[in-house]
Amino acid sequence: MEASRTFLFADLGPGPEEHFRMCFLGTVLHLLESIGTRLDSFAQAIERFPFLLGYNNELAGRVPGLSSAEAMECWCASLEHWERGVAAHLPLRSLRLAAGLSHLELLWLLTPGLIEEDPRFGSVFEELHGIPGQRQPTLGWFRHCHPPPGEHGDPAELLARASRMGALRLVNSDATRSEWVFRFPSLVWEALGHGQLRWESDRFVYRPPEQALPLEELILPAATRAQVAAIPSLLEKGPARAIVVRGPRHNGRRALIGAVARALGRGRLELRNADAAQAPDWKEAGALALLLNAMPVLELALASRESFRLPDWQPSSPPLGVVLGRQGELNGECADRAVFVELELPGPEARRQLWRRCSSDSDGAELETMADRFRFTTGHIGRAAQLARTHAALTGRRRIELSDVLQATRALDRHGLDALACRLPVTGDLSHLSTSERTQEELEHLARRCRHRETLPAALEQSPAGCLNCGVRALFTGPTGTGKTLAARLLAGTLQKDIYRLELSSVVNKFIGETEKNLNRLFDCAEELDIILLLDEGDALLTRRTDVQSSNDRYANLETNFLLQRLESFQGILIVTTNARDRIDSAFERRMDVVVTFGAPSAAERWQLWQSHLPASCTVDSQRLAQVAAECELTGGQIQNAVLHATLLALDNGGVVTSEYLEAAVRREYRKRGAVCPLRHVAEN
């Protein structure tokens, strides 16, 4: 017996598919005995089901001259001997050990899967049931026709054990117990037979260990690296059962979990839409992770005050990986035994390393500029570098330049941002703004604050203000038309960044909590893409909190409180403009790093505004223009409107703006606001 056990499967390689074939044939061998007993003789079974002859011949070639009982004993002994010589992961072995089954019990448990591999077994089950159309084994059939081996007289115990693990599924729980049918989920059977998922699934994606970076190749801060290095041991030996990685999107959260899984010798089983209404079957996910030797990974997008209960895994299930944003909380036993890692946006040095890794053939000075200029997530740096290389190749260059990266940033994942905000055109810089000296100084101070928003918190680390983050929040106040929005756009030009204006119609939602979700998504996108976010007429959102008179007041105050907290944690550049400063909650104003006041322009500033807006081909008399600038107290926006109207009038007469057209346009601006134009007094003189 020992010799036959040694050489019974000597022709099969040490892989999951070979192991599955051995077990499948062993299940057929076990079933043939029941068929022969049920139909009085094996010859009658072959006559009734000719396809069984092929299986019988293959089995007889491996265990010749043995009775059914002896063949089954030899088969299981040989299977155990073969497994001891295989160090690689075997899905069926993992299932057997996790369920606490003997080899013979495992072969019995695979009986419902025979029809998955060979549909002809359906006719066998139908005949043995004696019920037309019943082509799958039922619990009653297992009890009376094919009971489990060993001491388990009731098959329900073994079937329930596999069902609790997610390996089997009860498909008709509303039927009587004797008619219950158990089947292997399609993906579970695929994993059992091949050790991988060969077919694409809308619920699960398997990634082998080699697709993840090793832990030592991750670019992490020293403190985070030391923490992460200890996690594989905690997950393997306990007490931790899960790893939760928090942080911005596209910032290496899944890469970190993949590296931890690789250190454990595991792949990743990514669960799609884990927090959607149609969440995956957690039991099936646990079974697949066990069979694939993978860490199940779910990504959650929770809003403030939202919670999510992590699934209760079986003790034998692999550790769980969770990708989470900054908002929301987790609960459940698995969450209580989780280790948490916070991944912040990479700092300047980390960004330099990432740019060098992604653009090794670029100039060193260019890489330094890229790292300092673009405060991107790790994922966006990789994508921007790839897109920049493509853009450089289109112009015949091998090395990427700053202009290539600027172009590449526009092609990054901005659909979430574009759905809630609108990109404004950026031309010029702050030197093109005509305003008071004090306002100009404050704007220059704001630009300086933005340029040093990473070094300033580090410089104040030991002071009471050391809790500063990298966010910059500015409030532009002043009457309508005094240049607040223009200044924001020119600041973006100075900093060489894109600026997006929040669209209130896209953000504000009548449903409770949806406005908060939209705002949070907008702030997240602005941080990840390092753009300037503009809240034009921001008093509509930053309104004062009121006494609670109704449920509407309560929810309005909740939204205000959320916005206060989100502004404080915001790590991007935010500009809020308002012409009604008294309507803004004082708590918002206290959170503003810079407040810039825009007033009505003086006569000298109005002269500069007229000069900057009028076309070069105009024939406006300089003395008359000086009088208009001195007498007509118009804002910058009104001056721009007047020049536009004068140009429109001139288009019907050669396109040249004259003094006559200019005066007509100025009078129109006064009529629009219901005031008397002072130009008539100028004309009488």
53-67 residue pLDDT tens: 999 888 888 888 788
Structure tokens at 654: 């050669």
pLDDT in the model for residue 152: 57
- 110-117: average pLDDT: 94
Question: Does the pLDDT value for residue 1 go beyond 50?
Answer: no
Residue 143: closest CA among 272, 258, 34: 34
Full DSSP string of 309-323: EPP---TTSPPEEEE
- Under the banding of pLDDT at 50, 70 and 90, the label for residue 553 is very low
Kindly state the average pLDDT of the residues 562-572: 84
Q: What percent of the chain has pLDDT over 90?
A: 36
Quick one: pLDDT at residue 5? Answer: 46
Burial of 309 (0-12, 13-18, 19+ CB in 10 A): exposed
In the chain, the largest separation of any two C-alpha atoms, in whole Å, equals 129
Give me the pLDDT at residue 544, please. Answer: 56
Residue with tokens 């454990």: 264
pLDDT: which is higher, 558 or 671: 671
Six token digits for residue 653 = 């007469």
pLDDT at 601 over 90: no
Mean pLDDT (whole number) for 524-535: 90
**Dihedral sign (CA 252, 388, 521, 533):** positive
Rounded Cα distance between 57 and 265, Å, is 40
The Cα 221–Cα 226 span in angstroms is 9
Kindly tell me if the per-residue pLDDT of 344 is higher than 50.
yes
**Residue 472 pLDDT:** 93
Mean pLDDT to the nearest integer, 500-516: 74
pLDDT at 7: 59
- Rounded-to-integer distance, Cα 417 and Cα 521, Å: 8
- pLDDT in the model for residue 557: 61
Cα–Cα distance for residue pair 362/57, rounded to 1 Å: 66
pLDDT(342) > 90: yes
Q: Determine if residue 576 is left, alpha or beta; phi over 0 gives left, psi from -120 to 50 gives alpha, anything else beta.
A: beta
Closest CA to 243 of 325, 344, 320: 320
Tell me what pLDDT residue 327 has. Answer: 84
How far apart are the C-alpha atoms of 419 and 579, rounded to whole Å? 26
Which pLDDT tens digit goes with each residue over 196-230? 998 888 889 999 999 999 999 999 999 999 999 99
Residue 170 pLDDT: 94
Q: How far apart are the first and last CA of the chain?
A: 126
pLDDT confidence of residue 445: 94
Per-residue pLDDT tens digits for 399-451: 888 788 888 888 887 777 888 889 999 888 898 888 888 999 999 999 999 99
Read off the pLDDT of residues 321-339 as tens digits, 9 standing for 90 and up.
Answer: 999 988 889 999 899 999 9
- Reply yes or no on whether the pLDDT at 591 is more than 70: yes
- Top pLDDT among 256 and 529 is at 256
pLDDT band at 512 (very low <50, low <70, confident <90, very high): low
List, for residues 77-86, the tens digit of each pLDDT value. 999 999 998 9
585 vs 259: which has the higher pLDDT: 259
pLDDT at 88: 92
- What the chain holds in terms of domains, given with CATH numbers, is 2-194 (no CATH), 204-342 (3.40.50), 348-412 (1.10.8.60), 430-597 (3.40.50.300), 603-684 (1.10.8.60)
Q: pLDDT band at 620, cuts 50/70/90?
A: confident
User: What distance in Å separates the CA atoms of residue 36 and residue 42, rounded to the nearest whole number?
Assistant: 4
- In percent, the amount of the chain with pLDDT more than 70 equals 91
According to the model, what pLDDT value does residue 684 have? 41
Q: With contact defined as beta carbons under 8 Å apart, do 287 and 166 qualify? A: yes
What per-residue confidence (pLDDT) applies to 554? 47
Q: Quickly state the pLDDT bin for 548 (edges 50, 70, 90).
A: very low
Task: Of 76-90, 247-261, 370-384, 466-480, give the lowest mean pLDDT range.
Answer: 466-480
| Residue 6 reports pLDDT greater than 50 | no
Sheet holding 472-477, edge to edge: 421-424, 499-502, 532-535, 573-578, 472-477, 594-597
Residue 534 pLDDT > 60, yes or no? yes
The pLDDT of residue 297 is 95
Mean pLDDT value of segment 484-504 = 90
* Per-residue pLDDT tens over the stretch 282-314: 889 999 999 999 999 999 988 777 889 988 877
The answer to whether residue 194 scores a pLDDT higher than 80 is: yes
**Cis, bond preceding 319 (omega within 30 deg of 0):** no
3-state SS, residue 572:
coil
Return the pLDDT at 594.
92
More confident residue, 276 or 173: 173
Output the CA torsion 522→523→525→528 (10° steps). 180
pLDDT interval class at 551 (50, 70, 90)? very low
Q: Which residue has the tokens 């072995």?
A: 93
In the beta sheet, which residues pair with residue 465? none
Q: What is the pLDDT of residues 638-654, one digit of tens each?
A: 888 888 988 888 887 77
C-alpha dist (Å) from residue 187 to 166, 276, 284? 11, 20, 9
Main-chain phi, psi angles of 57, to 5 degrees: -65, -40
Helix (H, G, I), strand (E, B) or coil at 270: strand
Whole-number pLDDT of residue 146: 86
Residues 70, 73, 77, 79: what is their CA dihedral angle, to the nearest 10 degrees? 100
Do residues 104 and 76 touch, judged by C-beta distance below 8 A? yes
Compute the average pLDDT of residues 220-248: 92
